[in-house]
Amino acid sequence: MIKAVKGTRDLLPPATVAWNRVEAVARAVFRAYNYHEIRTPILEETQLFARGVGADTDIVTKEMYTFVDRDETSLTLRPENTASVIRAYIEHRLDQRPGVQKLYYIGPMFRRERPQKGRYRQFFQIGAEALGSESPAVDAEVIELVVELLSRAGLSGFQLLINSVGDANCRPQYVERLRQELKSVAHAMCGDCQRRADTNPLRVLDCKVEADQPIIDKLPHITDCLCDPCRAHFDTVKNYLADRGIAYEVRPRLVRGLDYYMRTTFEVVHGSLGAQNSVLGGGRYDGLAESLGSKVHSPGIGFSIGEDRLVMSVEDAQAAEPLDLVIAPLGEPALRHAAVLARDLRRGGLSVELAEGKLKRAMELANKLGARFTLILGEEEMAAGRYALKDMASGEQRQVTREELAARFGGN
C-alpha cells in the first residue's frame, strides 16, 4: 500500500475548513496593509538558497531536497521563500515600481528533517516581505501586521520576542568578543556548546541546558554591543511599538538561524505547540539582495508564519461546512427535473446535493450531511407542479411552488 511520504500529510475535510479560515484572515489583513500576493516557483536553482540562506546553515548543509535535472543543473525544492521573492524582485526590477514593495505568499516549503510535533518535511508558510526601505517605521508596521494577523486568526496567549542582531559593522565584532569570552568558560558547558563556541558562538546563546544558563547569563548581550546606527534603529523600532501599545519582550539571546538577518529580528512563541513552540519568525535583511546579485541596494524586512503550527494552536471544534439542501427525486423523470433545478439553485448560491435512490436513503443522507432542508420530488409533486420542502431541524414539511422556492432561496 502506498502511503504519504514521511513528514508529509493529507489535510482532509473538515480540517481544511480551519486552514481556509486562517488563509482568508491572512489575505484580508494583507489587503488592509497594502500587501499583494506573489507566487514564485516551488523549484529553484540550488545556488539561490546556498547564497541566499547561507552556505553553512543547517538548512543548506543537510535539509534541502536537491536533485540534478536532466540538463545537469542542480535544482532544489524551496526550504523557505524569502530568497525566491528577492530573486523575483531583482529579476523583474520591482525596485522600479513606486513605493515600498509589499509582497505576501502562502504555500508549501520543504525541509528534510526528522518529523515531530509541529515539524513536517512539507510544511506551509504564510509570509510577507517589505522591500526597498530601511526605515524603522517599516519594521514596526510589519510587526504590527503579524500581531494583528495572529490575533484575528484566533490565536491568544502568544508572546512577541524581539532583538537586534546588529549589522555587517558591529555583529562580527560581537561574535569575536563572544568567541574570546567563551574560550575561558566553554569547558564547563555541555558538549554541544563546546562545539558551538568555536563553530557558531551565537548558537550558544540559544542553549536550553539548565546547567549552562548561569554561564550564558554572564556573556555579553549583543544589544549592548551595537554600533550607533544599529542602536538608534532598534530604539526607534521599540518606540514605535510602544506607540501602538504592542507588548513585546526584548530577548538579547534571540538569534535566528538564517545567515541573512541583520538588525531587527523577531519571533512569536506559543505554549501548546510542544518543543517546536515558534509560530512565526522574521527579521530584516538589508544585504540579501546584493548578495544575490542585485546592483541596487534593496533593503528589506519580512517574516513567515508556520501555518501548520498556527492552525494547530488555533484549532477548535471542527464543524463540517453546512449543506443547504438535499434534493430527493423519485424516479427517472423526477431525477431529470431535479438535476436542472439543482443547477439553478446552485447558480443562486445555494449548496445543493442531489440524492438518487430510495427516499429513505435520501433522508438518511440529508441527515448525515447536516442539510438544513430536503426537497422531495416524486410523482405526486411532479403532477401537482410543486415540491415538498422539509425542514430537517423541526421536521416540518410543506408544499411549495417553484416561485416560492425561488423567493426563499434565490436562483429562479
Q: How many CB atoms lie within 10 A of CB 400?
A: 16
- Reading the block at residue 187, the C-alpha cell is 569547558
Residue whose CB is less far from RNA, 297 or 361: 361
For residue 254, count CB atoms less than 10 angstroms from its CB and return exposed for 0-12, middle for 13-18, buried for 19 or more.
buried
Does position 56 interact with RNA (CB under 7 A)? The reply is no
* Contact present, 300 and 52 (Cβ < 8 Å): no
CB closer to RNA, 198 vs 243: 198
How many Cβ atoms sit within 10 Å of the Cβ of residue 308? Answer: 21
Dihedral, CA of residue 67, residue 73, residue 74 and residue 78, to nearest 10: -100
Q: Which of 256, 289, 299, 301 binds RNA (CB under 7 A)?
A: 256
Residue 250: CB minimum distance to RNA, A: 18
Site string for RNA, 69-108 (x = CB under 7 A): -----------x----------------------------
Nearer to RNA, 235 or 249 (CB): 249
User: Which 3 state secondary structure label does DSSP give 292?
Assistant: coil
Establish if 264 lies at the interface with RNA (CB under 7 A).
no
Residue carrying the nine cell digits 548543509: 61
Q: How far is the CB of 35 from RNA (least distance, A)?
A: 18
Q: Which is nearer to RNA, 115 or 348 (CB)?
A: 115
**392 contributes a contact to RNA by CB under 7 A:** yes
Q: Does 37 bind RNA (CB under 7 A)?
A: no
Distance of CA 204 to the CA centre of its chain: 28
Residue window 106-145: x/- pattern of binding to RNA, with contact defined by CB under 7 A? -----x-xxxxxxxx--x-x--------------------
Smallest gap from Cβ 277 to RNA, in A, equals 6
Residue with cell 447558480: 347
CB of 279 to RNA, least distance (A): 5
Q: Which of 76, 81, 304, 313 binds RNA (CB under 7 A)?
A: 304
Q: Which of 385, 183, 101, 143 minimizes the C-alpha distance to 281?
A: 143
Backbone angles phi, psi at 30, to 5 degrees: -60, -40
Interface pattern 161-200 for RNA (x via CB under 7 A): -------------------------------x---x----
Which residues are within 8 A (CB) of 208 and not within 5 positions of it... i.e. 6 or more apart? none
CB atoms inside a 10 Å sphere around CB 208: 9
| Grid cell for residue 257 | 538561524
Q: Which of 237, 305, 325, 338 binds RNA (CB under 7 A)?
A: 305
Q: Which of 138, 258, 342, 345 binds RNA (CB under 7 A)?
A: 258
The answer to whether residue 290 forms part of the interface with RNA (CB under 7 A) is no
Cβ-based nearer residue to RNA, 59 or 225: 59
Grid coordinates of 377: 420530488
Among 276, 291, 294, 351, binds RNA (CB under 7 A): 276
Distance CA 108, CA 121 (A): 10
Using DSSP's 3-state secondary structure scheme, residue 63 falls into coil
> Among candidates 142, 355, 372, 139, which has minimal Cα distance to 236?
139
x/- letters, 314..353, toward RNA (CB under 7 A): ----------------x-----------------------
| Contacting range for RNA; rule: CB under 7 A; set: 14-22, 218-226, 292-300, 304-312 | 304-312
Least distance in Å: CB of 173 to RNA?
21
Locate all alpha helices (DSSP H) within 128-220, ordered by sequence: 136-152, 171-185, 191-199, 201-204, 213-218
Number of residues counted as binding RNA (CB under 7 A): 67
Cα–Cα distance measured from residue 347 to residue 30, given in angstroms and rounded to the nearest whole number: 30
Residues 189-248 that bind RNA (CB under 7 A): 192, 196, 203, 206-209
Q: Which residues contact 98 (CB under 8 A, 6 or more apart)?
A: none
Q: Is the peptide bond before 13 cis (omega within 30 degrees of 0)?
A: no
Q: How far apart are CA 325 and CA 313, in angstroms?
A: 33
Closest approach of RNA to the CB of residue 132, in Å: 22
Stretches 154-162, 173-181, 255-263, 400-408: which one binds RNA (CB under 7 A)?
A: 255-263
Residues lying near RNA in the complex (CB under 7 A) are found at 3, 5-7, 9, 57-59, 80, 111, 113-120, 123, 125, 192, 196, 203, 206-209, 256-258, 267, 274-281, 304-306, 308-309, 330, 358-361, 363-364, 366-368, 374, 376, 378-381, 388, 390, 392-395, 397
